């Protein structure tokens, strides 16, 4: 008797479920960043807005990469429903505080996917997720550096102007 389960279903159901959950988390992040970009844009923080537009695009790419992986593995990739993002913030710093919290939550979720892969011995998906683990190191670093800039510069008008000048230059060198 042929092993149809293995021939056509490469991933276990538990892995498919947790990857679809991750697709939803990435989609939610993309929507949240878009809301942050809008908040920054209308208040004249053009560079911060650009920073978050880029972040939103990044999250969308992360979502699609997972989505394609599921489809390539002949599994059902679910286009997710997302919740209403937070549109109101008190200060520019609070936007960046929220961004760091989001990135930490995404990192935790990615690590949970890796743990689930290890639990089920899914070496291929664990290897696929390695890119996300690395990516989260970078994402968290950038979010933290943004907050450190507020610590260094302060939050008066001149400081916020200086923050705007620097925010697009924050990168993770990684070496």
By the criterion CB under 8 A, which residues form the site for other proteins?
Answer: 1-9, 13, 74, 76
Minimum distance between the CB of residue 7 and other proteins, rounded to whole angstroms? 7
Task: State both tokens at 28.
Answer: 């939610």
In whole angstroms, the minimum distance from the beta carbon of 6 to other proteins comes to 5
Cβ at position 69, least distance to other proteins in Å: 16
Residues 6+ apart with CB under 8 A from 82: 24, 27, 28, 31
In the complex, the smallest distance separating the C-beta of residue 70 from other proteins, rounded to whole angstroms, is: 12
Closest Cα to residue 16, out of 59, 58, 72, 87? 72
Q: Which two tokens stand for residue 64?
A: 């699609």
Instruction: Name the residue nearer to other proteins (CB basis): 78 or 100.
Output: 78
Is 71 in a helix, a strand, or coil? helix
Nearer to other proteins, 5 or 42 (CB): 5
When the beta carbons of 1 and 158 are compared against other proteins, the nearer one is: 1
Nearer to other proteins, 6 or 157 (CB): 6
What lies within 8 Å, CB to CB, of 77 at 6+ separation is: 20, 23, 66, 67, 68, 70, 71
């Amino acid at each position: 008797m042929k092993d149809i389960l293995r021939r056509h279903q490469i991933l276990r159901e538990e892995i498919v479920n947790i990857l679809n959950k991750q697709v939803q988390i990435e989609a939610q992040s993309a929507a949240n960043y878009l809301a942050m970009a809008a908040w920054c844009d209308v208040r004249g923080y053009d560079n911060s807005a650009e920073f978050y537009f880029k972040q939103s695009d990044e999250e969308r790419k992360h979502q699609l990469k997972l989505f394609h992986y599921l489809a390539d593995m002949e599994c059902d990739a679910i286009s997710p429903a997302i919740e209403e993002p937070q549109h109101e913030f008190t200060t520019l710093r609070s936007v960046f505080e929220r961004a760091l919290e989001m990135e930490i939550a995404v990192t935790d979720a990615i690590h949970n996917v890796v743990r689930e892969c290890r639990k089920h011995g899914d070496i291929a998906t664990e290897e696929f997720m390695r890119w996300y683990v690395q990516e989260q190191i970078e994402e968290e670093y950038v979010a933290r550096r943004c907050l450190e800039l507020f610590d260094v510069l302060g939050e008066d008008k001149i400081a916020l102007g200086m923050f705007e000048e620097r925010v697009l230059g924050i990168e993770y060198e990684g070496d």
